[in-house]
Structure 1
Amino acid sequence: MIRFVLNLFYNFNGGTPSGRFCNGKTFVDYIGQLLGLPILLPYTSPFATGTNVVRGVNYASAAGGILEDTGRHLGERFSLSAQVVNFESTLSELRSQMGDEEIVNYLAKAIVVMSLGSNDYINNYMLPSFYSSSYIYAPKDFADLLINSYTRQILALRSLGLRKFLLGGVGPLGCIPNQLAGGTASTGKCVAYANNVAAIFNERLKSLVDDLNTKYNNNDSRTIFAYGFNVTDRGCCGIGRNRGQITCLPFSVPCDNRKEHIFWDAFHPTEAVNRILAQRAYSGSPSDCHPLNIQQMALI
Structure 2
Amino acid sequence: MYVFGDSLVDNGNNNYLNAQAKANFYPYGIDFYQGPTGRFTNGKTIIDFLSESLGLPYLPPFANPFNTDRDIMYGVNYASAAGGILEESGQALGERFSFSLQARNFGITKRQLQNHMNETDLQQYLTKALVVVILGSNDYVNNYLNPTYPSQSKFKPENYADIVINQYTKQIQALYDQGLRLFFLAGVGPIGCTPSQKTVARLPADKCVTFSNDVVQMFNIRLKTLVDQFNVTHPNATFSFGDTFQALTDILAHPAQFGLTELERACCGVGRNNAEKMCLPLLIPCLNRNQYAFWDAFHPTEAVHRLLALAAFNGPKSYSHPFNLKEIVEMAKVQI
Asked whether the 8 Å contact 1:169–1:221 carries over to 2, the reply is: yes
**Equivalence for 2:50:** 31
1:80 aligns with 2:81: no
Following superposition, the deviation at residue 186 of structure 1 comes to 4.5
Match of 1:296 in 2: 327
Q: Is 1:14 matched with 2:31? A: yes
- Alpha carbons of structure 1 residues 161 and 249: separation in structure 2 relative to 1, 3 Å: farther
Size of the alignment, in residue pairs?
A: 297
- Match for 1:233: what amino acid? E
1:87/1:290 CA distance change after superposition, 3 Å: same
- Asked if 1:203 is matched to 2:234, the reply is no
Distance 2:79 2:287 in 1: 28
Q: Which moved more, 1:262-271 or 1:175-184?
A: 175-184
Secondary structure, aligned partner of 1:146: helix
Q: How far apart, in 2, do the equivalents of 1:184 and 1:280 lie? A: 30
1:221 and 1:281 in contact (8 A); partners too = yes
Q: Which residue of 1 aligns with 2:110?
A: 91
Contact 1:17 1:248 in 2 (8 A): no
The equivalent residue for 2:183 is 165
Aligned residues: percent identity?
46
Aligned residues of 1:48 and 1:57 also touching (Cα < 8 A) = no
* Aligned equivalent of 1:127: 146
Tell me if 1:138 matches 2:136: no
Return the offset for 1:211.
0.8
- Once the two structures are TM-superposed, the CA of residue 218 in structure 1 deviates from its matched residue by 1.7
Task: Show structure 1 runs of 5+ residues with no match.
Answer: none
The normalised TM-score by structure 2 is 0.85
Which whole-Å deviations, capped at 9, do the CAs of 1:75-128 have from their partners, x for residues lacking one? 111101110111111110001111111100110001111011111100011112
Contact 2:199 2:272 (8 Å CA) reproduced: no
CA 1:297–1:241 in structure 2 vs 1: closer, same or farther (change >3 Å)? farther
Q: Equivalent residues in 2 for 1:240-279 (5 A)?
A: 240=271, 242-279=273-310
Aligned equivalents of 1:39 and 1:246: distance in 2? 30
Q: Is the 8 A contact 2:276 2:297 kept in 1?
A: yes
Secondary structure in 1 matching 2:200: coil
- Give distance in 1, aligned partners of 2:165 and 2:210: 22
For 1:254, give the aligned amino acid.
P
- 1:5 maps to what in 2? 3
Contact 2:195 2:275 in 1 (8 A): yes
AA in 2 matched with 1:14 = D
From 213, 224, 230, give the equivalent of 1:212.
Answer: 230
Residue 156 of structure 1 corresponds to 174
SS of corresponding position for 1:232: strand
Segment drifting more, 218-227 vs 175-184: 218-227
Residues 242, 312 of structure 2: 8 Å contact kept: yes
Partner of 1:177: 195
Query: Is contact 1:174-1:194 (8 Å) kept?
Result: yes
TM-aligned CA deviation for residue 17 of structure 1? 5.6
Amino acid at match of 1:271: E
Q: Distance in 1 between matches of 2:213 and 2:299?
A: 16
The Cα RMSD (Å) is 1.5
- Write the letter of the residue equivalent to 1:198: V
The more displaced of 208-217 and 3-12 is 3-12
Contact 2:268/2:278 (CA < 8 Å) preserved in 1? Answer: yes
- AA of the residue aligned to 2:157: P
Indicate the SS of the match to 1:166. strand
Any conservation in 1 of the 2:11–2:38 contact (CA below 8 Å)?
A: no
> Relative contact order (C-alpha < 8 Å, sep 6+): which is higher?
1
Conserved? CA contact 1:21–1:247, under 8 Å? no
**Could you tell me how far apart the structure 2 residues matched to 1:199 and 1:114 are?**
17
Q: Is the 8 A contact 2:128 2:182 kept in 1?
A: yes
What is the aligned partner in structure 1 of residue 67 from structure 2?
48
Q: Is there any run of 5+ residues in structure 2 with no aligned partner, and where?
A: 13-28
The residue that corresponds to 1:115 in the other structure is 134
Check the 8 A contact 1:237/1:255 in 2, yes or no: yes
The 1-side partners of 2:272 and 2:68 are apart by 39
The one-letter code of the counterpart of 1:221 is G
Secondary structure of the structure 2 residue equivalent to 1:218: strand
Mapped to 1, the partners of 2:116 and 2:37 lie a distance apart of 33
